[in-house]
Amino acid sequence: METTVALLLLCLFMVIIDSSVSHNDKITMLPGQPQVGFQQFSGYVTVDERKQKALFYYFVEAEVDSASKPLVLWLNGGPGCSSLGVGALSENGPFRPSGEVLVRNEYSWNREANMLYLEAPIGVGFSYSNDTSAYVALGDKITARDNLVFLQQWFLKFPQFKHSDLFITGESYAGHYVPQLAELMIQFNKNHKFFNLKGIALGNPVLEFATDFNSRAEYFWSHGLISDSTYKMFTSSCNYSRYVSEYYRGSVSPVCSRVMNQVTRETSRFVDKYDVTLDVCISSVLSQSRVITPQQVAERIDVCVEDETVNYLNRRDVQEALHARLVGVKKWEVCSNVLDYKLLDLEIPTISIVGSLIKAGIPVLIYSGDQDSVIPLTGSRTLVHRLARQLGLNATIPYRVWFEGMQVGGWTQVYGNILSFATIRGASHEAPFSQPERSLVLFKAFLESRPLPQLV
Ligand SMILES: *[C@@H]1O[C@H](CO)[C@@H](O)[C@H](O)[C@H]1NC(C)=O
Ligand SMILES: *[C@@H]1O[C@H](CO)[C@@H](O)[C@H](O)[C@H]1NC(C)=O
Ligand SMILES: *[C@@H]1O[C@H](CO)[C@@H](O)[C@H](O)[C@H]1NC(C)=O
């Protein structure tokens, strides 16, 4: 009897703690924000007590009827770039900074879901460790583990979302983060039914180093960025995966150096590799995955005078409203300068993990902004097709166009009703940034596990 009462009291106590904690993380108002009808939260979750590691999140509830909407975790890549600055404030979040204020993004993904943006791993954005040795040699394994602990702890703050349908989404290097996290969740679920994982979606993802990177040569060539003879060298003398591999081992061979110089000279500094149709001066927030394209580090787009997101997130009043602190860094940065990520993890194939997720019954969508030359659609399409064949999945939707309104939004193909590929027409590496409306249509169909719309 006494224990029952004690337990009951304990439960009650925990519930009170829980709601008060989420209450502490509630954002009253972001500076310059328009009035909205949904709630926002942000703050820290400790993922490692001993190493004093804390990850920063920004959570926006769905615009309407949040209790019945799914929960979606979004991760940006890099490795080392911020899901708050890139994902939330430039791509699919409810607001975009403009001068002193925030303007509404009409195609925000919180129209369809409760969106959780995580700055991961430690050393990215406002996430930190008090033990700076934790920034050294941090790679995919630790990132996946910390992200898993983050979600477990986050659900203690927001127990009301524990039974919501959970989706994990992300782009670029999140082609590593997302499948690796989903795999840990499924392992954890074997003993404790905990994560209600219903699917993953990956935009222009790094899934298999050689296939993804070597599709660049043909993409450059077919879009007129390099000549016939350079294309030949870039596919025979030294291909891009070999160059990157040599680069990260600190020994670029003379032949690769010669080929890359030629490629760089012809493609020039004046088009954006994340969208070959764009002029160069777009926000440096979009320099995500500069890390996976080392040859472009020197030509990083710093000429842009204004960087609204960087300015906004470095305001003291904004940081206070977000409950954020800068620990061990002077400034909030789009991509971390303190993190020393194990870049050779780039070569770990994650397409095989995607295969194991599908075998476990988790639906997967791989989509590509079709103007991106960094992780071109052609490599992703090949990988998806190859995986479908390996798994014995036949096409359940043949390669066809899909529509957003009266216009073609892109192409799609579905295998075994579980593995989908789609392109987003006219979209960059950051698809929701350049094609917000088409991206939202794709996102909605994915959440509802419905085929992409045809012309009605
Ligand atoms: C980091 O150190 C500060 C100051 O001692 C402390 O308040 C904070 O809780 C520590 N962070 C973590 C994650 O332990
Ligand atoms: C890229 O180069 C490596 C090393 O020379 C080679 O093993 C690989 O087959 C090449 N890949 C392609 C697609 O040409
Ligand atoms: C896929 O198609 C092949 C050839 O038509 C057929 O033999 C096979 O049974 C199909 N597999 C499934 C899982 O439907």
Domain boundaries, the chain: 1-456
- In this prediction, residue 282 carries a pLDDT of 53
As to burial, measured by CB atoms within 10 angstroms (0-12 exposed, 13-18 middle, 19+ buried), residue 97 is buried
372 a catalytic residue: yes
Q: Name 73's Cβ contacts closer than 8 Å, sequence gap at least 6.
A: 116, 118, 151, 166, 167, 168, 169, 170
* Predicted pLDDT at 320: 98
Asked if 223 is an active-site residue, the reply is no
pLDDT tens column, 398-415: 999 999 999 999 999 999
Query: Which residue has the CA at smallest separation from atom 3 of ligand 1?
Result: 130
* Backbone phi, psi, residue 396, to 5°: -100, -25
Ligand 3 pocket: which of 389, 394, 397 to mutate (most atoms within 8 A of CB) = 394
Q: Quick one: pLDDT band at residue 287, thresholds 50, 70, 90?
A: low
Give pLDDT, residue 268.
85
> What pTM was estimated for this model as a whole?
0.91
H or E element in which residue 441 lies: helix 436-447
Instruction: For residues 379 and 366, give the distance between their C-alpha atoms in angstroms, rounded to a whole number.
Output: 11
- The answer to whether the CB of 54 is under 6 A from ligand 1 is yes
Chain segment 5-50, per-residue pLDDT in tens: 444 444 444 444 444 445 799 999 999 999 999 999 999 999 999 9
Question: What percent of the chain has pLDDT above 70?
Answer: 89
Q: Any long-range contacts for 232-237 (C-beta under 8 Å, 24+ apart)?
A: 233/259, 233/262, 234/259, 234/263
Mean pLDDT of 263-270: 88
Given 3.30.110.60, 3.10.20.30, 3.40.190.10, 3.40.50.1820, which CATH number is that of 1-456? 3.40.50.1820
Residue with tokens 């002029």: 279
Which of the following is catalytic: 287, 429, 434, 439? 429
Q: How far apart are CA 285 and CA 307, in angstroms?
A: 7
Please state the atom number of ligand 3 nearest to the C-alpha of residue 416.
Answer: 13
